[in-house]
Amino acid sequence: MSGEPVPGAPAAPLFAMPDLAAFAQAVLAAAGADEESAAAATRAMAHASLLGVDSHGIRLLPHYAAAIAGGRVNGRPRLRFEEDGAVARLDADHAQGARATYAAMARAAELAGRHGIGAVTIRNSSHFGAAGAFALAAAEAGCIGFATCNSDSVVRLHDGAERFHGTNPLAVAVPVEGGRPWLLDMATSAIPYNRVLLYRSLGTALPAATASDAEGRDTTDAERAEMLAPLGAAFGFKGAGLAGLAEILSAALSGMRLSHEIAPMAGPDFTRPREMGAFVLALRPAAFVDPGVFRAGMVRYLAALRGSPVAGGPVMAPGDREWAEAERRDRDGVPVDPTTLAALATLAGQYALRMPDPRPAAG
């Protein structure tokens, strides 16, 4: 659900990403975040906003500021790693999720440099935003990256009628010679819950088979959506199974809370840590095959994929849509929906900061 226009949405004002990022860092610092935490959270939001994943972009800034100011998130954490060969365990000290996960992936890439593979479990973390941001960090270091987490229950099981799993994302990024990384970033729900909130803000209908009302019945009314459907519609058992994989790797393997045990992201309690887990993995291709063979294989694979016959097309590799959107937004600006714009203005007033100026309207 990234990079695509929202049907029926009014035109939103556009902002330069560097201006939004500077504002975000200033807000988070004012809320109590140290420099590394503010930079990591901003980096993750900027990744999402640029690539068109608006549900996990700058619209999360008010939530992150509230979580730090309220004490749910430790804005000045002391990260503690324990290593055992190619494996490490990170106690994040209730850090902002992006702060913890970028650090974990950096360590995983270091381990992969020594061992060919690096895996890190994360304890005592919090909401980290778009999982693809952290997989991409591994690809930028020359590794294949994988990142996942669980989150508070909002997704029903296949044929279920209560919230059970979180949106439990899975993300993989692969470096590509002479091009942007192959980038898969997907919720195991049909859509992320932040997408429901975004559609509510815009007053538009949800796609079919993506959400359910309080009784588990499908609905396209964002105001009536009480839970999400698992990925796969009539074959939702596949999405539910993938959500279970995320649950096992991020919660069971780290000893953290299962989805139904995590306090709701929306509160009302913003004073107590949510004790969330996550998992990241980095693979160094050269440990498995000659680097030139791997690079050539990726180039051949993507050329064949993009050149395959279409039935209405175009055929795209994972990430193609998002990278194209990032180029447009880097050039033209990032749209900010009305609810988020009002929330940013409130933050500016609260912390005596200057709101970024929108870019002039075209024409």
Q: Do domains 13-70+333-363 and 190-229 have the same CATH topology?
A: no
Average pLDDT over every residue of 27-32? 98
- Arithmetic mean of pLDDT over the chain: 95
Is the distance from CB of 223 to CB of 200 less than 8 angstroms?
yes
Is the distance from CB of 227 to CB of 156 less than 8 angstroms?
yes
Average pLDDT over every residue of 169-196? 94
Q: What digits encode the pLDDT tens for the residues 145-168?
A: 999 999 999 999 999 999 999 999
pLDDT of the residue at 363 = 52
Q: Which of 67-76, 110-119, 193-202 has the lowest mean pLDDT?
A: 193-202
CA 193 to chain CA centroid, Å, is: 12
pLDDT bucket at 360, cuts 50 / 70 / 90:
confident
Q: What is the secondary structure of 125-152 as a DSSP string?
A: E-----THHHHHHHHHTTSEEEEEE--S
CATH no., domain 190-229: 3.30.60.50
pLDDT bucket at 362, cuts 50 / 70 / 90:
low
Q: Which of 9-18, 41-50, 69-78, 314-323 has the lowest mean pLDDT?
A: 9-18
Average pLDDT over every residue of 266-294? 97
Quickly list H helices, the chain: 17-31, 35-51, 61-70, 97-115, 132-140, 193-202, 236-247, 291-306, 320-332, 338-350
pLDDT of the residue at 2 = 42
DSSP annotation of 225 reads -
pLDDT bucket at 128, cuts 50 / 70 / 90:
very high
The count of residues in the chain is 363
- In CATH terms, 13-70+333-363 corresponds, of 1.10.287.3510, 1.20.120.80, 1.10.1530.10, 3.40.50.970, to 1.10.1530.10
Average pLDDT over every residue of 192-210? 87
Q: Which of 20-29, 124-133, 198-207, 242-251 has the lowest mean pLDDT?
A: 198-207
Domain 78-189+235-307 adopts which CATH fold? Ribosomal Protein S8; Chain: A, domain 1 (3.30.1370)
pLDDT of the residue at 11 = 77
Above pLDDT 90, what percent of the chain?
89
CA–CA separation, 165 vs 154, rounded Å? 6
pLDDT of the residue at 7 = 54
DSSP annotation of 48 reads H
Is the distance from CB of 157 to CB of 165 less than 8 angstroms?
yes
Q: Which of 7-11, 42-46, 68-72 has the lowest mean pLDDT?
A: 7-11
Average pLDDT over every residue of 262-283? 96
pLDDT of the residue at 1 = 38
Bridge-based pairing of strands 117-125 and 87-91 is: parallel
Average pLDDT over every residue of 292-306? 97
Is the distance from CB of 56 to CB of 94 less than 8 angstroms?
no
Above pLDDT 70, what percent of the chain?
97
Average pLDDT over every residue of 188-196? 88
pLDDT of the residue at 55 = 87
Please name which of 72, 76, 51 lies closest in space to residue 270, comparing C-alpha atoms: 72
pLDDT at 5 over 70: no
Domain borders along the chain are 13-70+333-363, 78-189+235-307, 190-229
pLDDT bucket at 3, cuts 50 / 70 / 90:
very low
